[in-house]
Protein backbone atom coordinates (compact mmCIF):
# COMPACT_ATOMS: atom_id res chain seq x y z
CA UNK A 1 0.00 0.00 0.00
CA UNK A 2 1.43 3.37 -1.08
CA UNK A 3 -0.76 6.21 0.15
CA UNK A 4 -1.20 9.32 2.22
CA UNK A 5 1.84 11.07 0.76
CA UNK A 6 1.79 14.83 0.16
CA UNK A 7 3.44 14.37 -3.24
CA UNK A 8 3.51 11.43 -5.64
CA UNK A 9 3.10 7.88 -4.43
CA UNK A 10 5.85 6.77 -6.85
CA UNK A 11 8.17 9.11 -8.77
CA UNK A 12 10.32 7.84 -11.65
CA UNK A 13 12.48 10.86 -12.48
CA UNK A 14 15.11 11.61 -15.13
CA UNK A 15 17.19 8.48 -15.91
CA UNK A 16 14.95 6.26 -13.74
CA UNK A 17 14.60 3.93 -16.71
CA UNK A 18 13.65 0.25 -17.13
CA UNK A 19 11.72 -0.11 -13.85
CA UNK A 20 8.70 -2.31 -13.16
CA UNK A 21 5.94 -1.20 -10.78
CA UNK A 22 3.67 -4.16 -10.12
CA UNK A 23 1.11 -5.48 -7.64
CA UNK A 24 0.58 -2.32 -5.56
CA UNK A 25 -2.38 -0.41 -4.15
CA UNK A 26 -1.53 3.22 -4.81
CA UNK A 27 -3.90 5.67 -3.11
CA UNK A 28 -6.11 2.95 -1.59
CA UNK A 29 -6.12 1.03 1.67
CA UNK A 30 -6.71 -2.71 1.90
CA UNK A 31 -9.94 -3.03 3.90
CA UNK A 32 -13.28 -3.53 2.15
CA UNK A 33 -14.46 -1.14 0.90
CA UNK A 34 -10.96 0.28 0.47
CA UNK A 35 -10.56 3.72 2.04
CA UNK A 36 -8.84 6.34 -0.11
CA UNK A 37 -5.29 7.15 1.07
CA UNK A 38 -4.58 9.91 -1.44
CA UNK A 39 -1.21 10.87 -2.85
CA UNK A 40 -0.90 13.94 -5.10
CA UNK A 41 -0.56 11.69 -8.18
CA UNK A 42 -0.37 7.94 -7.87
CA UNK A 43 2.61 7.51 -10.23
CA UNK A 44 4.60 10.27 -11.94
CA UNK A 45 7.00 9.35 -14.74
CA UNK A 46 9.03 12.49 -15.42
CA UNK A 47 11.44 12.35 -18.38
CA UNK A 48 12.10 8.63 -17.80
CA UNK A 49 11.76 5.85 -20.34
CA UNK A 50 10.96 2.18 -20.85
CA UNK A 51 9.22 1.69 -17.50
CA UNK A 52 6.41 -0.84 -17.06
CA UNK A 53 3.47 -0.01 -14.83
CA UNK A 54 1.50 -3.25 -14.32
CA UNK A 55 1.75 -6.04 -16.86
CA UNK A 56 -0.12 -9.01 -18.25
CA UNK A 57 0.75 -11.67 -15.67
CA UNK A 58 -1.63 -12.45 -12.78
CA UNK A 59 -0.95 -10.08 -9.86
CA UNK A 60 1.16 -7.66 -11.92
CA UNK A 61 -1.52 -4.99 -12.21
CA UNK A 62 -1.77 -2.10 -9.77
CA UNK A 63 -4.90 -0.59 -8.21
CA UNK A 64 -4.37 3.17 -8.64
CA UNK A 65 -7.25 5.21 -7.22
CA UNK A 66 -8.18 7.86 -4.67
CA UNK A 67 -5.30 10.19 -5.59
CA UNK A 68 -6.03 13.93 -5.76
CA UNK A 69 -4.35 14.50 -9.13
CA UNK A 70 -3.89 11.87 -11.91
CA UNK A 71 -3.59 8.15 -11.31
CA UNK A 72 -0.62 7.96 -13.71
CA UNK A 73 1.11 11.03 -15.20
CA UNK A 74 3.75 10.66 -17.94
CA UNK A 75 5.37 14.04 -18.44
CA UNK A 76 8.28 15.49 -20.44
CA UNK A 77 9.91 15.07 -23.83
CA UNK A 78 12.19 12.41 -22.31
CA UNK A 79 9.16 10.31 -21.24
CA UNK A 80 9.48 7.73 -24.00
CA UNK A 81 8.34 4.12 -24.49
CA UNK A 82 6.72 3.61 -21.10
CA UNK A 83 3.96 1.01 -20.85
CA UNK A 84 0.89 1.15 -18.59
CA UNK A 85 -1.10 -2.08 -18.81
CA UNK A 86 -3.18 -4.46 -16.73
CA UNK A 87 -4.09 -1.89 -14.07
CA UNK A 88 -7.26 -0.66 -12.38
CA UNK A 89 -6.91 3.12 -12.69
CA UNK A 90 -9.88 4.29 -10.67
CA UNK A 91 -11.55 1.61 -8.59
CA UNK A 92 -14.75 0.64 -10.40
CA UNK A 93 -16.01 -1.69 -7.65
CA UNK A 94 -16.52 1.15 -5.18
CA UNK A 95 -16.42 4.01 -7.71
CA UNK A 96 -13.30 5.61 -6.22
CA UNK A 97 -11.44 7.57 -8.88
CA UNK A 98 -8.49 9.91 -9.17
CA UNK A 99 -9.33 13.62 -8.85
CA UNK A 100 -7.87 15.11 -12.05
CA UNK A 101 -8.19 12.04 -14.30
CA UNK A 102 -6.96 8.53 -14.93
CA UNK A 103 -3.85 8.92 -17.13
CA UNK A 104 -2.07 12.04 -18.40
CA UNK A 105 0.54 12.05 -21.16
CA UNK A 106 2.06 15.52 -21.55
CA UNK A 107 4.86 15.93 -24.13
CA UNK A 108 5.78 12.21 -23.94
CA UNK A 109 6.07 10.01 -27.03
CA UNK A 110 5.80 6.34 -28.01
CA UNK A 111 4.12 5.39 -24.73
CA UNK A 112 1.55 2.60 -24.63
CA UNK A 113 -1.60 2.77 -22.52
CA UNK A 114 -3.33 -0.61 -22.65
CA UNK A 115 -2.50 -3.83 -24.37
CA UNK A 116 -3.18 -6.31 -27.11
CA UNK A 117 -5.52 -8.70 -25.30
CA UNK A 118 -8.27 -6.10 -25.06
CA UNK A 119 -11.72 -6.28 -23.59
CA UNK A 120 -14.15 -9.19 -23.31
CA UNK A 121 -17.81 -8.80 -24.28
CA UNK A 122 -19.44 -7.00 -21.36
CA UNK A 123 -16.45 -4.69 -20.82
CA UNK A 124 -14.23 -6.87 -18.61
CA UNK A 125 -10.49 -6.53 -19.16
CA UNK A 126 -8.29 -9.42 -20.23
CA UNK A 127 -4.66 -9.65 -19.08
CA UNK A 128 -2.99 -6.43 -20.20
CA UNK A 129 -6.10 -4.26 -20.52
CA UNK A 130 -6.44 -1.27 -18.17
CA UNK A 131 -9.76 -0.55 -16.52
CA UNK A 132 -9.91 3.26 -16.38
CA UNK A 133 -13.04 4.41 -14.57
CA UNK A 134 -14.66 6.82 -12.13
CA UNK A 135 -11.96 9.48 -12.51
CA UNK A 136 -12.70 13.20 -12.23
CA UNK A 137 -11.35 16.15 -14.16
CA UNK A 138 -10.67 15.57 -17.84
CA UNK A 139 -11.60 11.91 -17.53
CA UNK A 140 -9.93 8.70 -18.66
CA UNK A 141 -6.80 9.33 -20.78
CA UNK A 142 -5.63 12.90 -21.44
CA UNK A 143 -2.97 13.67 -24.06
CA UNK A 144 -1.63 17.22 -24.12
CA UNK A 145 1.30 19.43 -25.08
CA UNK A 146 3.59 18.07 -27.80
CA UNK A 147 2.81 14.42 -27.07
CA UNK A 148 3.25 12.26 -30.17
CA UNK A 149 2.83 8.67 -31.39
CA UNK A 150 1.35 7.38 -28.14
CA UNK A 151 -0.84 4.28 -28.44
CA UNK A 152 -4.06 3.99 -26.45
CA UNK A 153 -5.51 0.57 -27.14
CA UNK A 154 -7.32 -2.33 -25.54
CA UNK A 155 -8.65 -0.48 -22.49
CA UNK A 156 -12.01 -0.44 -20.77
CA UNK A 157 -12.65 3.29 -20.23
CA UNK A 158 -15.97 4.19 -18.60
CA UNK A 159 -17.85 6.37 -16.10
CA UNK A 160 -15.23 9.16 -15.98
CA UNK A 161 -16.23 12.80 -15.39
CA UNK A 162 -14.76 13.93 -18.73
CA UNK A 163 -14.12 12.27 -22.07
CA UNK A 164 -12.75 8.73 -22.27
CA UNK A 165 -9.82 10.02 -24.38
CA UNK A 166 -9.18 13.77 -24.52
CA UNK A 167 -6.63 15.02 -27.06
CA UNK A 168 -5.50 18.51 -26.04
CA UNK A 169 -7.26 18.63 -22.66
CA UNK A 170 -9.84 20.87 -24.29
CA UNK A 171 -12.87 18.65 -24.73
CA UNK A 172 -14.21 17.06 -27.88
CA UNK A 173 -11.93 16.90 -30.95
CA UNK A 174 -14.01 16.27 -34.06
CA UNK A 175 -13.15 13.40 -36.36
CA UNK A 176 -12.00 14.43 -39.79
CA UNK A 177 -10.59 12.72 -42.88
CA UNK A 178 -6.90 12.78 -43.68
CA UNK A 179 -5.45 13.22 -40.19
CA UNK A 180 -2.85 15.77 -41.22
CA UNK A 181 -3.59 17.74 -38.06
CA UNK A 182 -1.18 19.37 -35.65
CA UNK A 183 -1.65 18.84 -31.93
CA UNK A 184 -1.33 16.19 -29.24
CA UNK A 185 -0.94 12.75 -30.86
CA UNK A 186 -1.52 14.51 -34.20
CA UNK A 187 -5.23 14.64 -33.19
CA UNK A 188 -5.63 11.13 -34.60
CA UNK A 189 -9.18 9.91 -35.04
pLDDT score of 180: 65
Helix, strand, coil percent content, the chain, rounded in steps of 5: 0, 35, 65
Which of 70-74, 106-110, 171-175 has the least mean pLDDT? 171-175
pLDDT score of 101: 96
pLDDT score of 179: 60
Could you tell me if 93 and 118 are in contact, meaning their C-beta atoms sit under 8 angstroms apart?
Answer: no
What is the value of pTM for the model shown?
0.91
DSSP assignments along 152-165, one per residue: EES-EEES-SSEEE
Portion of the chain with pLDDT greater than 70, in percent: 91
In this prediction, residues 13-18 reach a mean pLDDT of: 95
Q: Per-residue pLDDT for 92 more than 60?
A: yes
pLDDT in tens, 45-87: 999 999 999 998 999 999 999 999 999 999 999 999 999 999 9
Distance from C-alpha of 31 to C-alpha of 18, rounded to nearest angstrom: 32
Amino acid sequence: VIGGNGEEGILLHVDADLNQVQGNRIGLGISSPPPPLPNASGILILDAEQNVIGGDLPGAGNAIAGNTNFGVAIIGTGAISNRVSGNDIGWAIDQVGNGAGGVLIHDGSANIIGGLQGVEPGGNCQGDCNSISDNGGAGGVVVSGDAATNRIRGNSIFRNAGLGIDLGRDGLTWEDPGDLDVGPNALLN
